[in-house]
Amino acid sequence: MAFDYDLFVIGGGSGGVRAARIASSEHGARVGLAEEYRMGGTCVIRGCVPKKLMVFASGFPGAVADACAYGWDAQIGEFDWSRFRAKLDGELDRLEGLYRAGLERAGVTVFDCRATLAGAHEIRLADGREVSAKHILIATGGKPVVPEAWQGQGVMTSNEVFLMEALPKSILIVGGGYIASEFACIFNGLGVDTTQFYRGAQILRGFDEEARGHIAHEMVANGINLCLGTDVKEMEGRNGQTWVKSTTGHDRSYDAVLFATGRKPNTDGLGLGALGLGLKANGAIPVDRYSQTAVPSVYAVGDVTDRANLTPVAIREGHAFADTVFGGTPRFFDHGLIPTAIFTQPEYGTVGMTEEDARAAGPVDVYSAAFRPMHSLFAGRDNRAMMKLIVCRKSDKVLGCHIVAEHAGEMIQLAGVAISMGATKAEFDRTLAVHPTMAEELVTMRTATRSHTG
């Protein structure tokens, strides 16, 4: 059977674009790609990139305060959201243009419309056309979910937050994951009266418990009203604001409410059911380690598979897929060791096992230190950094590294290299400290803080 394309990709985010480019430019495949919104996906348009730029913006008041403490005659005025947003929109336009140019140079045919599956090899476009492909890759990502009880109440999600017409004077953020916690820090840094509700006992569930507690303490110290064990009970509009009644008596009105209570794979209406392709309970597409579904011609990468929902992971999965299917080199991405950063204030960088997971797996030694960094100490701030290594007692291999500090994301990248190479604690100890830095603590912790027998 002759197909219109060797590969058709549904979704123009990081994973889909990488797969399309590699399959076309490096392996000579005929590739088509459909994107219904904007090229770049969640990361570029409504995720990592605009969020990180907001993180930068929110850090300047603290930087100016530190400058004063260091002797500078410095001051900062009001934050101009409209000016920032105009520049942000321009930057996102620039990045989207780069994504499109990259696909064009690679010879990929782009369709600016929604696409769904009409069969194991057939794709139906929103304009009514139907095309065929030997292989189909689904890379439609995920989307934020608002609990049904609060839908239609005018609340924002992470999709809408970058489209605000004005910066609110007060905001309630509902959720305790990294998106909720990051935005709580962002808005607080921008001078917004910020409250965060989380129904659990501690934010950042699934991460290292000591690090979670350290971040929560610092967030509260920085002025965020963090309400744990708290959820929304009632909500209604009052005098241009949103009045919220909580389960713990924290009742008040806010100019804006942001829900960051979870995301789900973006599989609704794709036509997967007609192919007999069963989905997981949350809508995720089951795949094997080569990203292949139960329908041999259909593959999926990125957040739509709900394996590890991070942009670099989607890119690696997309590249591995292209090399496997079109390059004759079977490859898969190992999800076992993933360095990542959470851009709270302070940042959290992590790679490898949490103390809790390592303790359950066998005997471990934990090396942990909390201290006031030189920069903030001199400025008169009480902020504390935390460094932590988790070491297998039998092999001396470093199983996990956790850093809570300014620029933790930059530090964890290099720690991730060492740990992925199987570095031992002795090798960390033999590495000369770079002084004076925060990171030197990683190679100067010589005595275990605590040990677990497993």
Residues recognised as catalytic: 435
Relative to beta strand 232-238, strand 252-254 is unpaired
Written as one string, the DSSP assignment of 349-390 is EEEE--HHHHHHHS-EEEEEEEE--HHHHHTT----EEEEEE
Contact assessment for residue 115 and residue 129, using Cβ atoms and an 8 Å cutoff? no
The DSSP code sequence of 156-216 is: B-TTTGGG-SS--SEEEEE--SHHHHHHHHHHHHTT-EEEEEESSSSSSTTS-HHHHHHHH
Residues 6+ apart with CB under 8 A from 255: 168, 169, 170, 171, 241, 242
Q: Residues 185, 223: contact at Cβ < 8 Å?
A: no
SS3 assignment for 243-308:
EEEECCCCCEEECEEEECCCEEECCCCCCCHHHCCCCCCCCCCCCCCCCECCCCCEEECHHHHCCC
Helix (H, G, I), strand (E, B) or coil at 407: coil
In DSSP terms, which residues pair with 445 in a beta bridge? none
Phi, psi dihedrals of residue 180, rounded to the nearest 5°: -60, -45
3-state class (DSSP) for residue 232: strand
